[in-house]
């Protein structure tokens, strides 16, 4: 008589149930795998210490440059020229490590570099983009002010001509707030009111009158440098102005680039939280049985997997639209609103399954949840994205009086 061994139970990772890898081409999968390996080997082993000490080493800029993720969706100047989906997948893998990593790369590539790439002169592009792509130089993006976040049109930072004619110097005065990479930056893209409307300027951070003050005692995005920028009679040559940046639409287009990365990035934090929690529940015994074997546990894990998978399908879909004919701002609002909202809910729910262990840095979900509190707010608050969608549906701008 022969016996047949019982079949092994199928165990899938959350996104395997959706088979989202089938929607990606070979290069996209390879890019995601390369970035994930980098995060797993070089970043995750250090994140607990960086988060606890509220630091992010400046030399990571060069490592990100070597990895090829800085401005990776741009063409030329040492940039990889990948498609939007590949860039999104890189953001997802970086944020699976920590939101601070994705924020660094996002600000460098989608705000600092993109503002120069899209609106700069040839001289500005040739001077700064190769340095920023390699991580030799670090950039930041100065739009938000202490009293003007969701309403950047009201900014008080002012740029005035010093003299007559197009070649006259500019003098900038004002304050910018909540600026990622501010204390690390070699160049800041600063937006200011002028007699000609809102214009953008490239400000080398060693320019007299420019000061970056680090913001301390943060409860979120601790492994990220956040700063206040102070411009006190900062004198710039006429050539510092971004020639093609006219009006508020210019900085807002840069924000749309960064928001797209968040659509994918937030899912990385959610995926890491969920994978960490699934592994924990398999080994944590409660009443002589793995925590994973209880119905309430499985209900939570199943619900979180459904929302993670739906968010991934939405992100890939928006990426394909962006690569094809261009994604609209309200569509990016849909993606950021949904995926950040679901990601923070997943991270919080995962923390409950970890019990007391969940409040330590040994496990990632509460760290991700804390970080996502910032992601929920920056690059447009959830409320503003709701109203952006509402305007698209009704034609009425409810956020303007």
pLDDT, tens digit (0-9, with 9 covering 90-100), for 296-350: 999 999 999 999 999 999 999 999 999 998 899 999 999 999 999 999 999 999 9
The distance in angstroms from the start CA to the end CA of the chain is: 83
Structure tokens at 55: 């630091």
Beta bridge partners of 198: 193
Helices and strands, counts by H and E, the chain = 13, 10
Does 379 participate in catalysis according to the annotation? yes
Q: Are residues 204 and 270 located together in one domain of the fold? A: no
For residue 166, the model assigns a pLDDT of 81
Distances (CA, A) of 361 to 58, 85, 158, 282: 22, 31, 43, 20
For residue 11, the model assigns a pLDDT of 84
Distance of CA 367 to the CA centre of its chain: 16
Q: Is the pLDDT of residue 399 over 90?
A: no
Asked if residue 316 is part of any domain, the answer here is: yes
Last residue of some domain: 88, 108, 134? 134
Q: How many CB atoms lie within 10 A of CB 384?
A: 18
Structure tokens at 378: 């920056």
CATH of the domain at 305: 1.20.140.10
Q: Which domain holds residue 112?
A: 14-134
Go through 278-305 and write b for each residue having 16 or more CB atoms within 10 A of its CB, e for each that does not: bebbeebeeeeeebbeeeebeebbeebb
For residue 234, the model assigns a pLDDT of 98
Asked if residue 197 is part of any domain, the answer here is: yes
CA gap 245, 250 in Å, rounded: 5
pLDDT in tens, 90-143: 999 999 999 999 999 999 999 999 999 999 999 999 999 999 999 999 999 999
Q: Are residues 388 and 311 located together in one domain of the fold? A: yes
Distance of CA 324 to the CA centre of its chain: 22
CA gap 347, 329 in Å, rounded: 27
Structure tokens at 62: 């060069």
Helix (H, G, I), strand (E, B) or coil at 311: helix
Mean pLDDT of 232-236: 97
Nearest to 178 by CA among 230, 224, 228: 228
CATH of the domain at 232: 2.40.110.10
Q: How many domains is the chain built from?
A: 3
- What DSSP letter does each residue of 133-199 carry, written as one string? HHTSS-EEEE--BTTBSS-GGG---EEEEESSSTT-EEEEEEEEEEEETTTT-SEEEEEEEETTEEE
Mean pLDDT of 369-383: 94
Q: Are residues 390 and 256 located together in one domain of the fold? A: yes
Inter-residue contact 73 to 197 (CB < 8 Å):
no
Mean pLDDT of 73-102: 97
For residue 119, the model assigns a pLDDT of 97
Q: Are residues 238 and 254 located together in one domain of the fold? A: no
Q: Are residues 242 and 364 located together in one domain of the fold? A: no
Q: Are residues 219 and 259 located together in one domain of the fold? A: no
For residue 10, the model assigns a pLDDT of 59
Q: Are residues 197 and 159 located together in one domain of the fold? A: yes
> What H or E segment, with its residue span, contains residue 201?
strand 197-204
Structure tokens at 253: 């287009």
Asked if residue 6 is part of any domain, the answer here is: no
Angle at 197 between CA 192 and CA 200, to 5 degrees: 40
Q: Are residues 48 and 89 located together in one domain of the fold? A: yes
Asked if residue 3 is part of any domain, the answer here is: no
Helix (H, G, I), strand (E, B) or coil at 215: coil
In the structure, what pLDDT confidence band is assigned to residue 167 with cuts at 50, 70 and 90?
Answer: confident
Catalytic residue among 145, 257, 342, 379: 379
Last residue of some domain: 201, 222, 247? 247
Q: Are residues 254 and 374 located together in one domain of the fold? A: yes
Q: Are residues 280 and 330 located together in one domain of the fold? A: yes
Q: Are residues 378 and 262 located together in one domain of the fold? A: yes
Asked if residue 184 is part of any domain, the answer here is: yes
Asked if residue 370 is part of any domain, the answer here is: yes
54 CB contacts (<8 Å, ≥6 apart)? 216, 218, 222, 223
Last residue of some domain: 83, 107, 134? 134
CA gap 182, 172 in Å, rounded: 17
Asked if residue 366 is part of any domain, the answer here is: yes
Q: Are residues 222 and 310 located together in one domain of the fold? A: no
CATH of the domain at 75: 1.10.540.10
Asked if residue 303 is part of any domain, the answer here is: yes
Nearest to 201 by CA among 187, 213, 212: 187
Q: Is the pLDDT of residue 4 over 70?
A: no
Distances (CA, A) of 243 to 165, 238, 239, 250, 380: 15, 10, 8, 11, 26
Q: Is the pLDDT of residue 8 over 60?
A: no
């Amino acid at each position: 008589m022969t016996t047949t061994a019982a079949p092994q139970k199928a165990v899938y990772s959350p996104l395997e149930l959706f088979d989202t890898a089938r929607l990606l081409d070979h290069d996209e999968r390879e890019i995601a795998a390369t970035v994930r390996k980098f995060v797993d080997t070089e970043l995750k082993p250090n994140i607990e210490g960086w988060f606890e000490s509220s630091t992010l080493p400046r030399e990571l800029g060069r490592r990100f440059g070597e990895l090829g993720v800085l401005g990776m969706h741009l063409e030329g100047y040492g940039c990889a020229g990948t498609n939007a989906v590949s860039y999104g997948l890189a953001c997802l893998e970086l944020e699976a490590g920590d939101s601070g990593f994705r924020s660094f790369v996002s600000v460098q590539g989608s705000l600092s570099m993109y503002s120069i790439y899209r609106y700069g002169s040839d001289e500005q592009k040739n001077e700064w983009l190769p340095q920023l792509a390699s991580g030799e130089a670090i950039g930041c993006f100065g739009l938000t002010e202490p009293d003007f976040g969701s309403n950047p049109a009201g900014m008080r930072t002012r740029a005035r001509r010093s003299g007559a004619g197009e070649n006259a110097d500019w003098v900038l005065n004002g304050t910018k707030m909540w600026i990622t990479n501010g204390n690390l930056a070699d160049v800041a893209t600063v937006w200011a009111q002028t007699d000609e409307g809102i214009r953008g300027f490239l400000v080398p951070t060693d320019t007299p009158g420019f000061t970056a003050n680090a913001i301390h005692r943060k409860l979120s995005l601790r492994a990220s440098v956040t700063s206040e920028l102070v411009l006190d009679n900062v004198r710039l040559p006429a050539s510092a102005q971004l020639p093609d940046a006219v009006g508020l639409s210019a900085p807002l287009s840069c924000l749309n680039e960064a928001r797209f990365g968040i659509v994918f990035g937030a899912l990385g934090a959610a995926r890491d939280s969920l994978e960490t929690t699934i592994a924990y529940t398999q080994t944590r015994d409660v009443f002589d049985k793995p925590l994973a074997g209880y119905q309430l546990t499985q209900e939570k894990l199943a619900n979180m997997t459904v929302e993670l998978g739906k968010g991934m399908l939405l992100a890939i879909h928006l990426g394909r639209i962006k690569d094809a004919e261009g994604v609209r701002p309200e569509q990016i609002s849909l993606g950021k609103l949904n995926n950040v909202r679901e990601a923070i809910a997943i991270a919080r729910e995962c923390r409950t399954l970890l019990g007391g262990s969940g409040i330590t840095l040994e496990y990632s979900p509460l760290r991700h949840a804390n970080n996502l509190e910032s992601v929920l707010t920056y690059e447009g608050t959830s409320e503003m994205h709701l109203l952006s969608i509402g305007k698209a549906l009704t034609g009425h701008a409810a956020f303007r009086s």
